[in-house]
Structure 1
């Protein structure tokens, strides 16, 4: 299937979204991409409000990570990374869409937010190369995306809280394994199914 807006085969799911009809050619495509970038940031901000405190940990269970990997897969490398950068920068500037409606720079969980940008970029790149077309590939893509988030989040958690690495691994990662696996299962069900539907 060829995208009518670009003349190319869709690399990621959002490539199926048509350009803005009110604008012609490249402008219509750019407006579509801007809407997708802002929409991905807003989705992540909304998912962040699904937040459940974890006893003993400063890191809550949220819907953010699921939103991040879905945005990454749907938008592709460039748009996904930009979308998460918008989410991070707007939150630092005062938009209350981090977990618990918080905002601002720093804190024990800010490393995870920085990790969202890198994770979305990686997942987006993998999706552009077919990483979300089958259940098995999607599971692998989502696992890598989550590992990137932890790679950024845990060092900041250690630095801010003074936890030793072992404690941080438990409080900042280990307690979230079951939730992450459930989110990965959701993504592995949604993304390949969305491709099958789109290809019809």
Structure 2
């Protein structure tokens, strides 16, 4: 049976966070969701494993970004990731390894890609792309591609790497971990919708 997006009674497409009944439609709720998405990304970034020869560690960060995108939708996810970056650059220690950022950070391209990836995954989730395992996996792959498309070229520039080395240390060494994260998301997100029963949301 084809999977379709769940609709609000007013005809708006829903994402998982719209199923939370607390303060629905209020500004306070929107702010809380954006703050929560940024905090979740910061928390997941603390799962950090250094990679020999690369300034980019293996982290739970990208998984957090893509989950936030799917759960919040495009507009909230983009705002959440922008807040995450801004707060990190002004001193909140929630980048990988409890670090803060600067314009000279070799991973700046990846961080900028979080905003675009969150928005893309959020838009696809609004269209129902997180309702089945295969569509969720494809959505996560696309989100990762956006992050790498921003991160790898900047890494090559900032770390003075050749294109081949940038691809190796900025992409190839992370593919196995990304595959595991995608498989996890492919079970987690459709499972969350199943638990929610795909019930219509009331006023």
Runs of 4+ deviating beyond 3 Å: 6-10
Rounded to whole Å, the distance in 2 between the matches of 1:18 and 1:93 is 33
Match of 1:121 in 2: 119
Unpaired stretches in structure 1, ≥5 consecutive residues: none
Of 39, 50, 59 in structure 2, the residue corresponding to residue 62 of structure 1 is 59
Q: Is 1:14–2:17 an aligned residue pair?
A: yes
Match of 1:35 in 2: 32
Equivalent residues of 2:16, 2:71 under 8 A apart:
yes
Equivalent residues of 1:48, 1:99 under 8 A apart:
yes
* Mapping for residues 1-200 of structure 1, pairs under 5 Å: 7-8=10-11, 11-20=14-23, 26=25, 29-106=26-103, 107-198=105-196, 199=198
Rounded to whole Å, the distance in 2 between the matches of 1:97 and 1:2 is 35
TM-score by length of 2: 0.90
**CA deviation after TM superposition for structure 1 residue 166, in Å:** 0.7
**CA deviation after TM superposition for structure 1 residue 104, in Å:** 2.3
Higher RCO (C-alpha 8 Å, min separation 6)? 2
Unpaired stretches in structure 2, ≥5 consecutive residues: 1-5
Relative to its length, the structure with more helix (as a share) is: 1
Equivalent residues of 2:68, 2:118 under 8 A apart:
yes
TM-score by length of 1: 0.91
Deviation per residue, 1:23-50 (Å, 9 max, x gap): xx85xx2211110100000000001010
**CA deviation after TM superposition for structure 1 residue 19, in Å:** 3.9
